[in-house]
Amino acid sequence: MRWAALMWFLAAVLLLSVLCATASGRYQVPFAKVFAILAAHLVDVTSTWSPTDKIVVETVRLPRVLMAAVAGVGLALCGAVLQGLFRNPLVGPQTIGASSGAALGGVVAILFFGFGVYVYVGAFAGAALALLAVLAIHRSDSISPVLTLVLAGVVVSAFCAALVGLATYVADPETKLSDIVFWLLGSFGSATWQNLALISICTGVAAAVLFGMRWRINVLSLGDEEARTLGVHPARDRLILLAATCLAISAQVAVSGAIGWVGLIIPNLARMLVGADHRRLLPASALMGAIFLVIADTLARALTAAEIPVGIVTAIVGTPVFAILLRRNAKSRAT
């Protein structure tokens, strides 16, 4: 089976890229040593590594690399689901306003409650409100639903960005401002095992729901009216799917700041490989998203002496790919 072979291949690539990412960086740990350090948890391996090697691999790099992988899974899954739900391949967590909504929610939480678990709650609420706002502006029966949806996302994003600006303006520069800026810039550099556990739980729950409803997404992607004639009532299903999407996006934004483009381009690439059926598209997107973000984050920290924000790397790769997709989309609609 071609699809199964592709999944195994992607899984192998992911494993390999995680190991390579853990090995690379300014402090070089040879690939074999990384493997030995990790294997030592399972079997007896005679130590050939220094204590520094072990700390770099286990405390600094591995949580970061795994966090990038989990964030990639979440973003790509959400992108695939949003594209299916809104019947629009140009939709992603960022274009739909959810990412900036989560950023606003997190900033407001820091402003009023300080740094802590409230940031997650705030980010989730912000993402959910932004999505609801986009849904309220968007009308599926408008003349150009695809365009209004993207524009609604732009509007909501701009509004959230303005409020984030306002929040940083009024924030106390002695205490809150640095917290807010640090959090907004967010990178996988702040990864700890604790952080990783948090994002993994949120993304895991969301992924279980989204993957569980993979066939329902197929049905909803035909539009409400057609879904109803097929015996499926779309309203509640869509609400569950959007809630799960918000959970994954807000968890990702909360630990590593808004990262664009992954959720937009990865599902499109995955669709070219495995087709539109979400039973195959979701697993393929998840694996490809993880691989992409692990590589992007490794480039971000290893390419130059000073670390580049990972969002810049994803944007540099993502924007040209998006431009190509836009062209293809326009062409296929014209014919």
Partner 1 sequence: MIRLDDIGHWFRSERWLFRHLSMAVVPSEITAILGPNGTGKTTLLRALCGTLAVKEGSVHASEHIGYVPQALNADQAYSAVEMVLLGRSRFLGRFHAPGRRDTDRAHECLAEVGLSAIAEQRYDRLSGGQRQLVLLARALASDCRVLVLDEPASALDLANQGVVLRLIQRLARSRGLSVIFTTHHPDHALGIASNTLLMLRDAQHLYGPAGSVLTDDNLARMYGVPVRRVDVRSGGETVSAIVPLHGLSPAGPAAN
- Rule CB under 8 A: which residues touch partner 1? 87, 212-216, 218-219, 221-222, 225-226, 228-232, 237, 240, 271, 275-277, 279
Pick between residue 237 and residue 307 the one whose CB is nearest to partner 1: 237
Pick between residue 91 and residue 129 the one whose CB is nearest to partner 1: 91
Q: How far is the CB of 172 from partner 1 (least distance, A)?
A: 47
Pick between residue 185 and residue 272 the one whose CB is nearest to partner 1: 272
Residue 191: alpha-carbon gap to chain centroid: 15
Pick between residue 240 and residue 321 the one whose CB is nearest to partner 1: 240
Q: How far is the CB of 231 from partner 1 (least distance, A)?
A: 3
Pick between residue 54 and residue 279 the one whose CB is nearest to partner 1: 279
Q: How far is the CB of 219 from partner 1 (least distance, A)?
A: 5
Q: How far is the CB of 68 from partner 1 (least distance, A)?
A: 29
| Contact partners, residue 128, CB within 8 Å, separation at least 6 | 101, 242, 243, 246
Q: How far is the CB of 322 from partner 1 (least distance, A)?
A: 18
Pick between residue 179 and residue 277 the one whose CB is nearest to partner 1: 277
Q: How far is the CB of 212 from partner 1 (least distance, A)?
A: 4
Pick between residue 89 and residue 311 the one whose CB is nearest to partner 1: 89
Q: How far is the CB of 87 from partner 1 (least distance, A)?
A: 6
Q: What are the phi and psi torsion angles at 53 (to 5°)? A: -55, -45
Q: How far is the CB of 224 from partner 1 (least distance, A)?
A: 9
Pick between residue 38 and residue 232 the one whose CB is nearest to partner 1: 232
Q: How far is the CB of 282 from partner 1 (least distance, A)?
A: 11
Residue 11: alpha-carbon gap to chain centroid: 18
Pick between residue 54 and residue 87 the one whose CB is nearest to partner 1: 87
Secondary structure of the chain in HEC code, one letter for each residue: CHHHHHHHHHHHHHHHHHHHHHHCCCCCCCHHHHHHHHHCCCCCCCCCCCHHHHHHHHHHHHHHHHHHHHHHHHHHHHHHHHHHHCCCCCCCCCCCCHHHHHHHHHHHHHHHHCCCCHHHHHHHHHHHHHHHHHHHHCCCCCCCHHHHHHHHHHHHHHHHHHHHHHHHHHCCCCCHHHHHHHHHHCCHHHCCHHHHHHHHHHHHHHHHHHHHCHHHHHHHCCCHHHHHHCCCCHHHHHHHHHHHHHHHHHHHHHHHCCCCCHHHHHHHHHHHHHCCCHHHHHHHHHHHHHHHHHHHHHHHHHCCCCCCCHHHHHHHHHHHHHHHHHHHHHHHHHC
93, 203 Cβ separation under 8 angstroms = no
d(CA 335, CA 210): 33
